[in-house]
Amino acid sequence: MDIITIKGLEIFAYHGVNLEEKRDGQPFLLDLSLYADLRKARQSDALEDTINYAAVRKVVQQAFTAEKYDLIERAAEVACQAVLAGFPQVEKARLRLKKPKAPMNAKFDYVAVEVEAAREPQGKPVQREAITTQRLVLRPFTPGDGPGLYAYLAAPETVGFAPYDPFTPEQAEGEASRRACDPAFWAVCDRAGCLLGNLYFAPGEFDTWELGYVFGRGHWGQGFATEAARALLGQGFSQLGVRRVTACCNPENERSWRLLERLGLRREGHLRKNISFFRDGQGQPLWQDTYEYGILKEEWEEKP
């Protein structure tokens, strides 16, 4: 197994138990080792055959600064898992996270934690019947859906309200493999097999399921999301024992909440500045509002 090392990466973040640590922030130093099979890159001398460490730095920094954690153990774990999710070639990530300005009344170089995260053995692909509508086929994802995912998740306008940045080709490949084993995700294709977008439909407490959706910019305004979501909700209420379905969206995302209302969901709440996915240049959270929607089985069945 080959190793790529990034040593002494400095990232300013707001982790720590003390209030002033979360308020003022401090620099952290990261020593990251990535374990992967690089034989192909050693022969080809091609960037696409290795792990782009500049892209790794971006993914690590985004994951490391997205939230404020009490423990550096948790911050290190989040960073390692982000690397595994974003770079399919990486089999194992090891991170030594140093905190030079830990609040201790003593002279010291730093305190540190070293964590290791390895890729889980590939789970079994999801096996289930596809759902067919007049124009669409809803099916499980496959590991080969990476290029199709990249085609729409790489577009900034598509992920403008999502909790992640546009995908790289490597991230899309890894995400396709992950979704192939995750029953919550449905690939939405046209009858020719072109991947248009995806639905997310996952169970929670009290027979309540959560609905989510992302469709490529080139397929907006044609009713595909409505057609696909209506078919999936119908199956959920009639075959899966779903009692209630909920969904959330940013109030500024008018296309999203209008879709939910076309499906018959009721706006149940408007949460003010309740969530943050990103931070500004000073490391402060960029808060946003949330619309909450829901519908009961009996309400769905009463729809014309």
Residues with a catalytic annotation lie at 99
Bridge partners of 95, per DSSP, are 32, 115
CA angle 95, 99, 105 (to 5 degrees): 150
Rounded Cα gap, residues 1 and 112, in angstroms: 26
Rounded Cα gap, residues 186 and 96, in angstroms: 37
Instruction: Say which residue the tokens 């072109």 belong to.
Output: 194
Contact 87, 169 (CB under 8 A): no
As a whole number of Å, the CA-based R_g of the chain is 22
Contact 217, 245 (CB under 8 A): no
Following CA atoms 89, 124, 197, 88 in sequence, which dihedral angle do they give, to the nearest 10 degrees?
A: 0
Q: Is 203 exposed, middle or buried (0-12, 13-18, 19+ CB in 10 A)?
A: middle
Instruction: Say which residue the tokens 């084993």 belong to.
Output: 181
